Amino acid sequence: MRHFDLLILVNRPRQDVYDYLADPLNLLEVQPLLRKIQTKERSRNENGATVVSFDGLYVLPVLGLPLLRRLAHVVNTLTNPPNEMEYHAVYRPRIEIQFAYEFRQERNATQIKLRVNIIKVSHWMEDFVYNRAMNAQRSLLVNLKNRLEGPV
């Protein structure tokens, strides 16, 4: 299972950052490839954590044109608010990725550690999926920082 870690510091309180990422609709503002979200269900799991499942439509550019569309089923588990949350995404064709967030308060800012685990992918698509996931998550974190910190 391939994985990578990303870190970023956002100059906002931890609860604000957590609440923003916990709402799937906010992903439309910070995830550059995501075009549409349809929330399916909000429930609690056996550990009492809130679970939100939704379908998302992602558009991937091919030769600079937005041609490749991917539908994903995503489950967001608020495992330990406001310290941890996990997104688990299943894309076609048979791609499964886990996004595990940790939030730490650092004086007046929040440090976000994101671990991305590529759980399932065919061997011939592994490098492509790894690179796309890394670029998308870097963009998400930078866009999140810019959105929450506002203009300087």
What is 119-139 written as a DSSP string?
Answer: EE--GGGHHHHHHHHHHHHHH
For residue 96, give both structure tokens.
Answer: 């499964």
Q: Which pLDDT does position 135 carry in this prediction?
A: 94
Q: Which pLDDT does position 19 carry in this prediction?
A: 96
Among residues 143, 88, 74, the alpha carbon closest in space to that of 116 is found at 88
Cα–Cα distance measured from residue 137 to residue 141, given in angstroms and rounded to the nearest whole number: 6
Quote the Cα angle for 145-78-120, to 5°.
Answer: 85
For residue 80, give both structure tokens.
Answer: 């330990």
pLDDT tens by residue, the chain, 152 residues: 899 999 999 999 999 999 999 999 999 999 988 889 988 889 999 888 999 999 998 887 776 766 667 789 999 999 999 999 999 999 887 899 999 999 999 989 999 999 999 999 999 999 999 999 999 999 999 999 999 998 75
Helix 126-149 and helix 14-22: axis angle, to 10°?
130
**pTM summary value:** 0.89
For residue 62, give both structure tokens.
Answer: 């091919």
Asked if residues 103 and 80 have their Cβ atoms less than 8 Å apart, the reply is no
Q: Which pLDDT does position 101 carry in this prediction?
A: 98
Q: Which pLDDT does position 68 carry in this prediction?
A: 66
Q: Which pLDDT does position 66 carry in this prediction?
A: 65
